[in-house]
Amino acid sequence: MANAGSTLYERLGGERAIAALVQDFYARVFADPKLAPFFAGVETERLARMQREFFAAALGGPIRYSGRPLNAVHADLGIRPRHLARFLEHMMATLADRAITESDRYDVYTRIHRYADDITGNAEIDV
Ligand code: HEM
């Protein structure tokens, strides 16, 4: 099997490729009328830097996330599970547009979805 033994981070192309991927992904999030309002007034340069770091670290890269804890950041934003679902759909669509195997795409999903409760505060009602 090609690339057997490499880490997910390496298979995705390392730091530069993941930075490009995250940029493309968030462009889709900001263009989504159901998600864009959450980001109104947010300082985008810092946000982009933190997102790059977070994703690189979460995907197994040799990078330490230096941002705030995700639950503290998202707690008061009123993000419902349906918003998280759209966010993750954009992430999967971004991955699908690249030459990334299905198995790696779902590996990314698993690693990011792990933080779902931090984002929504585990809001299981009002979906
Ligand atoms: C598992 C999914 C998610 C991850 C891994 C994630 C990750 C992050 C990270 C790393 C930051 C930067 C934290 C910092 O500045 O210290 C951030 C900020 C932010 N996220 Fe998320 N996020 C997720 C889902 C969402 C969703 C679904 C929304 C809204 C629909 C959202 C809205 C925001 C906003 C508005 C900020 C900026 C908050 C501020 O600076 O005050 N996030 N997120």
CATH number at residue 22: 1.10.490.10
Encoded tokens for 95: 């991955």
Nearest atom in ligand 1 to 115's CA: 1
Residue 5, token pair as written in the block = 């033994």
1 inside domain: no
Burial of 120 (0-12, 13-18, 19+ CB in 10 A): buried
Indicate which residue's Cα is closest to atom 36 of ligand 1: 39
Structure tokens, 62: 């040799």
Tell me if 109 CB under 6 Å of ligand 1. no
pLDDT at residue 47 in the model? 94
Whole domain around residue 85: which residue ranges? 8-120
Q: Is residue 96 part of a domain?
A: yes
The answer to the question of residue 101 being in a domain is yes
97 pLDDT higher than 90? yes
Segment 36-90, tens digit of pLDDT = 999 999 998 999 999 999 999 999 999 999 999 999 999 899 999 999 999 999 9
**Stronger pLDDT, 123 or 30, i.e. the higher one:** 30
12 contacts 77 by C-beta, under 8 angstroms = no
In a domain, 79, yes or no: yes
50 lines ligand 1 (CB under 6 A): yes
Question: What is the count of structural domains for the chain?
Answer: 1
Residue type, 92: M
For ligand 1, whether the C-beta of 47 sits within 6 Å is yes
